[in-house]
Amino acid sequence: MQQLDVITFGEAMAMFMANQPGSLHQINQFTLELAGAETNVAIGLARLGLRAGWVSKVGNDAFGRFIIERLKNENVNIEQVLIDEQHPTGFQLKSKVLEGDPEVQYFRKGSAASHLQITDFNKAYFQSAKHLHLTGIPLAISEQARAYAKHALSFMKNNGRTVSFDPNLRPSLWASKEEMVEQINAVAFRANYVLPGITEGEILTGYKKPRDIASFYLESGVELVVIKLGEEGAFYKTAFDEGTVPGFKVKEVIDTVGAGDGFAVGVISGLLEKLSIQETVARGNAIGSLAVQSPGDNDGYPTYYQLQKYIEENLQGVK
């Protein structure tokens, strides 16, 4: 079995991107693309030359085959992508915007990925990886997927692997805000690295200041908290250090979807390469800024060479 640097898992969907601006019900031409927070991260890591594996279930349908072929083309390991003969692959519609966040409509209820369960867990595959990246989405899509996520987390921690966690809140998938906060924080407390956005941090902790949000998780044993601040960059804190790393100025924001996943790619890769925290966070900011300058969820993610060149040409105040 191939040795991996990072494993992640979750739900991928076929995405129909509108070819022109306007309300979704008025659009008659779309482009087929791939969507999914965890696939974004796997693709981004693979483009940087890391060995990334993605685990999930897809339906035995055209969308499932599209996802598998796309990930193969991106050099993502898909040995543990299972075919579900009974349940379909989810899909979504995404509007094209000239500024701000796009409109997205999901068709994912009862999808193959939501039926991922503990009996699908492959110990040898997960043991082959150095690091696990989790998001809050598998915790939300079904009880089976939530159990799988918690099992994977426990297995990796018990085997001495590191775990990063992006809350990636999806309130519409939860029965209540209270359940969402309880379940997300239960997982966050057990991760090594937690990567919330500032608004997510406020929802999950009740605090508004980045320092207080970070302290909330550090007091529970988390090693590093990095809080995304949008165009201002990101705030980080450990038990020994803290600071704000400025963001990268962009000429035009085309689409914000995928920026947070790109940020995770930068942070995870930097940590695995043992860069300084400042360099690691700057890398996250760089990939996030590249992501918002492209229309797709992950087509702005760079290769390693492109990333280094972009940082050298645009770095602001980070040595």
Out of 5, 120, 166, 261, the active site residue is 261
Say whether 261 is catalytic: yes
Could you give the CA distance from residue 270 to residue 260 in angstroms, rounded to a whole number? 15
Q: Do 77 and 51 meet the contact criterion of CB atoms below 8 Å apart?
A: yes
> 10 Å Cβ neighbour count for 225?
25
Q: How far is the C-alpha of 161 from the C-alpha of 88, rounded, in Å?
A: 33
Active site (catalytic) residues: 261
